[in-house]
Structure 1
């Protein structure tokens, strides 16, 4: 295994192992309110929010060779390999001085999950799962009016289907490890955040409250 790539992988692993970041995966269907709640967690609990999609988009924008490859894969409707997304996440974690991270929209499937743990040696503290009925998510997405071209009914339903098929096995896996914290995301934003807050507040602080 004396390749440069293997040496680099080993270097990343050891650096990440030394850093021992606290990672929380944030999962939920499109329109479940993940973005809003992540912003609240960042503000109240000092986490750094990493969105797998944002990192991929930023890499494409940078015009790097890696970015061009990602762009071509997306254009062809292919799924970006786990290793590519994981490398971007690792880089973001190592370059940030914080040691607490919300990773949003990843792992998208079981293969992502296994690769992330194998490559980084990191297992999440827990998985924050925003559980929201499809009708509610549909209503929210159609009412968003953010000019996102993927917010039309057919595309929305396709995105739900993909989420259910690929992400639910990840949720089931972590559930079997006792690591899933399910939040009823159909409630108003404020109520949802109260439930989220309870998960992030240290036990000793709750006792003192």
Structure 2
């Protein structure tokens, strides 16, 4: 059961990920802030690969692998999956992909995730894209969308907001202190939000030419 974590701990000094030296952007924002919509647009316009930590964990549990069974058991027991496990899945997805530009969506979820990612991979993000959206607006969007998600009820939504604020804001503050946070006003319509996002991803030389 400890194989993934052990492997992660052994690789730290000059990890394969550090050797690949990918351009990584962490994408953070509360539930309903529009992260998914904007990530899809960034992928389409700028050729990034979009990785969701949650999707990778779900895919691994469905794969029937030893790792997947361990993750499922931990979730069933109400335990938090160790950071190293999620990081190994992210690392594998990046190394197996020929692209060198990645959006990592919904990760790091907390300071422990962040510290573990940098320790295990020896890689820091290029920057952090933070979709800042008022709670009332996110609430309205989540209640208005009809995706059949059981967790889109008012009590659960408010709990998710609370968890996001308590766990993710310290990550944002840490990267902000290093000048790496790009804060986006995500309360605007999606097209307007993307105009702001686009400016962050357009190379300086292209802006000059325009």
Same fold judged by TM-score > 0.5?
A: yes
Unaligned runs of 5+ in 2: none
SS in 2 for 1:124: coil
Give, in angstroms, the shift of residue 18 of structure 1: 1.8
Tell me how far apart the structure 2 counterparts of residues 177 and 167 of structure 1 sit (CA, whole Å).
16
Structure 1 stretches of at least 4 aligned residues deviating more than 3 Å after TM superposition? 3-9, 11-14
Tell me how far apart the structure 1 counterparts of residues 162 and 182 of structure 2 sit (CA, whole Å).
22
Partner of 1:136: 137
Unaligned runs of 5+ in 1: none
Partner of 1:84: 85
2:15–2:122 contact (8 Å) kept in structure 1: no
Partner of 1:195: 196
Partner of 1:73: 74
C-alpha distance 8-77 of structure 1, shift in aligned 2 (>3 A):
closer
2:51–2:90 contact (8 Å) kept in structure 1: yes
2:15–2:120 contact (8 Å) kept in structure 1: no
Partner of 1:36: 37
Aligned alpha-carbon RMSD (Å):
1.8
Tell me how far apart the structure 1 counterparts of residues 41 and 168 of structure 2 sit (CA, whole Å).
23
Partner of 1:26: 27
2:34–2:186 contact (8 Å) kept in structure 1: yes
- Normalized against structure 2, the TM-score is what? 0.94
Partner of 1:156: 157
How many residue pairs match? The answer is: 207
Tell me how far apart the structure 1 counterparts of residues 175 and 56 of structure 2 sit (CA, whole Å).
24
Partner of 2:59: 58
C-alpha distance 176-11 of structure 1, shift in aligned 2 (>3 A):
closer
Tell me how far apart the structure 2 counterparts of residues 111 and 83 of structure 1 sit (CA, whole Å).
10
Tell me how far apart the structure 2 counterparts of residues 14 and 182 of structure 1 sit (CA, whole Å).
30
Tell me how far apart the structure 1 counterparts of residues 133 and 206 of structure 2 sit (CA, whole Å).
29
Give deviations 1:31-65, integer Å, cap 9, x for gaps: 00000000000000000000000000000110112
Tell me how far apart the structure 2 counterparts of residues 208 and 129 of structure 1 sit (CA, whole Å).
28
C-alpha distance 22-169 of structure 1, shift in aligned 2 (>3 A):
same
Give deviations 1:63-109, integer Å, cap 9, x for gaps: 11211111122222221110000000000000000000000000000
Query: Which deviates further from its counterpart, 35-44 or 73-82?
Result: 73-82
Partner of 1:182: 183
Give, in angstroms, the shift of residue 12 of structure 1: 9.3
Partner of 2:48: 47
Tell me how far apart the structure 1 counterparts of residues 124 and 146 of structure 2 sit (CA, whole Å).
37
Tell me how far apart the structure 1 counterparts of residues 174 and 29 of structure 2 sit (CA, whole Å).
15
